[in-house]
Amino acid sequence: MHYMLLCCFAEAAWTALPDDEKNRIMREYGALIRGLAERGRLRGGGRLRSTSSATTVRVQNGRPVFTDGPFAETKEQLGGYHVVDRRDLDEALSIAARIPTLPAGGAIEVRPIDSVEERP
């Protein structure tokens, strides 16, 4: 089953980290991602640009309405995502728990992805 790991982090807290700390976390991150890719567990993912570059689209009275910013203003923002292919939730959670930004804060939301061909 495919799971999406949504990486939420307070952008301000990340920016405030010292550079060598950021570099160390990103090196660890790179190793984790390479490892997952080598074992065929990674199906996609990416780092999102800051929420200041986000635009939200809604439809009101039949017309699209575009607003500046993410869909919800919260303390933490969606900063990136990974799609992993694992057998069950426990395996997906164990990858999520190893994401190197977590000790510095934030949260990972794990969501199963519905896929039509996978249904019994």
Partner 1 sequence: MSEQEARPVAEIVDALYRAESRQVLATLIRLLGDFEAAEEALHDAFAAAVEQWGRDGVPANPRAWLVSTGRFKAIDGMRRRARFDASLTEFAKQLETAATEPEEPDEESVEDDRLRLIFTCCHPALSPDAQVAMTLREVCGLTTEEIARAFLAAPPAIAQRIVRAKAKIRDARIPYVVPSEADLPARLDAVLRVIYLVFNEGYSSSSGDSLLRHDLSGEAIRLGRLLIRLLPEPEAMGLLALMLLHDSRRAARTSPTGDLILLENQNRRLWNREQIAEGTTLVERALSTGRIGPYGIQAAIAAVHAGAPDPAATDWVQIVALYDVLMRADPSPVVELNRAVAVAMRDDPSAGLALIDAILERGDLTNYHLTHAARADLCRRLGRTADARVSYELALKLSRQEPERRFLRRRLDELSESGKRD
User: What residue ranges bind partner 1 (CB under 8 A)?
Assistant: 1, 87-90, 93-94, 110-112, 119-120
Cα gap 96→80, rounded to integer Å:
13
Question: CA torsion sign, 50 to 47 to 32 to 30?
Answer: negative
Task: Report which of 9, 11, 7, 25 is spatially closest to residue 108, judged by C-alpha positions.
Answer: 7
For residue 87, the minimal CB distance to partner 1 (Å) is 7
- Nearest approach, Cβ of 14 to partner 1 (angstroms)? 27
Residue closer to partner 1 (CB basis): 26 or 97: 97
Report the residue number, 2 or 22, with the smaller CB distance to partner 1: 2
